[in-house]
Chains A and B, each alone.
Chain A
Amino acid sequence: MTPDEAADLIQAIATRQDRASFAELFRHFGPRVKAFLMRGGSDPETAQEVAQEALILVWRKAASFDRTRASAATWIYTIARNKRIDLLRRAGRPPIEVEDWLTIFAPEEEGADKSILAGQTYARVKELMEGLSADQLAVIRKAFFEDKTHTAIAEEMNLPLGTVKSRIRLALGRLRERLEEEDR
């Protein structure tokens, strides 16, 4: 499913509560969300439950999806991540949804280049990730799958904190460099 196709399906839900579009999204993203959560250590039953709940949220929040700001996969990732945090009710997590903090100010941003759609940035990020080293990728994947801080990752992987930091900085530096190169 391309980012555009996924975005169209979400829009169909938003504009006319289209159940067929939802079914298509569910078939595509349901198993992905479940597999993603299981990589983070969820058992299959919990992962299935969170995946279903997350997709119900996709239905409910469809009208707040803005394809110029986030790709469908990124948006659904954020919803699933928040749902997992909710369920685990882990202490010390921000009470306000991080995604809201990120979007509140976005409309006021001047000179934002709307011609580069979020879906395209997403596609490029996806492609550029293939250029990362195995070491860098291991740290990044662990961060996303298990939503652990870099400090916790260093402890768990038995690596010095400095090593983890430098892998993250190299990986991000590379992504940033490539994205900027392509923007020129």
Chain B
Amino acid sequence: MSRHPAPDELLLDYATGALPEGPALVLALQCALDPATRRTVGQLRDIGGALLEQEDGPAFEESALEQVLAKLDGVAVDSPPVSVPAAAPRGFEWAPAPLVPYLGTAPRWRKVLGGFERMPIRLAHDTHRVELLRLEPGHGLPVHHHVGEEYTIVLQGGFTDSTGNYGVGDFATGPGSQDHEPIADPGSACIALIVLEKPIVLTGPWGRWFNPLVKRGWL
């Protein structure tokens, strides 16, 4: 079991299908990596099933059934799905299945600083900023803090910051407005997926100069 499961309210949002794509991807990755999280989400979906079963709407007209049965004439029962997850690109074998469709065919890391690389992940719906970070052991991110919510899932290696130690399958939220400085643990490089709410648009006289930089992810 992950030592750092996602908080219950996010698991609930995920189970009901209410979560936007970026955070939903983080939760899907934790489900892929952590059986306990998967079990909890399964139990939450059972709540959905139980609520459905408890309903007792008035019976349908028999004509509704006849209509649907007539439609079924042309509808075959699909053969059982063969769930073979798409293979991850070379060098990305650590990527759990839910991430693979987002990697494209030839993903490439971009070097930011010595020992620190990143790769933007494009969502189908542009509600969050998502990127993969790769830190060599002992390297850290520059000290920073966040304006919006931040969700992190560790996919390889691990990191440590003032709030604790995080390994594969662990979920972390940023410590809010506090500065934090995560350092990659010894061993293999730390790879994590980070999802950020779109940065708040800066206001005030300097805003129009800084906002383009924020949008591009430079600030």
Binding site for B on A (CB under 8 A): 13-14, 17, 19, 22-23, 26-27, 29-36, 38-39, 48, 52, 55-56, 59-64, 69-78, 80-82, 85, 91-96, 98, 100-107, 109, 112, 118, 121-122, 125-126, 129, 140-141, 143-145, 147-150, 152, 164-165, 168-169, 172-173, 175-176, 179
Contact = CB atoms under 8 A, between A and B. Distances in A.
B64 A150 contact: no
Interface string B57-77: 111100011011101100111
Nearest to A94: B24
A81 to B, nearest CB: 5
A164 to B, nearest CB: 7
A69 to B, nearest CB: 8
A92 B7 contact: no
Given A59-B72, A60-B76, A144-B47, 14 more contacts: A17-B76, A26-B60, A31-B58, A32-B53, A36-B51, A63-B77, A63-B81, A76-B49, A98-B17, A100-B83, A104-B98, A118-B42, A125-B47, A147-B17
A67 to B, nearest CB: 13
Interface of B: 7-9, 11-14, 16-21, 24-25, 28, 31-32, 35, 38, 40-60, 64-65, 67-69, 71-72, 75-81, 83, 85, 96-98, 101, 124-125, 127
Top 8 nearest A-B pairs by Cβ distance?
A: A74-B49, A35-B57, A73-B49, A31-B57, A126-B50, A101-B28, A92-B20, A35-B55
Q: Is the interface of B mostly helix, strand, loop or mixed?
A: helix
A125 B43 contact: yes
Q: Is the interface of A mostly helix, strand, loop or mixed?
A: helix
Given A13-B77, A98-B17, A102-B31, A34 B57 contact: yes
Contact of A144 (B19, B48, B76, B127): B48
Given A19-B72, A92-B125, A126 B53 contact: yes
A176 B40 contact: yes
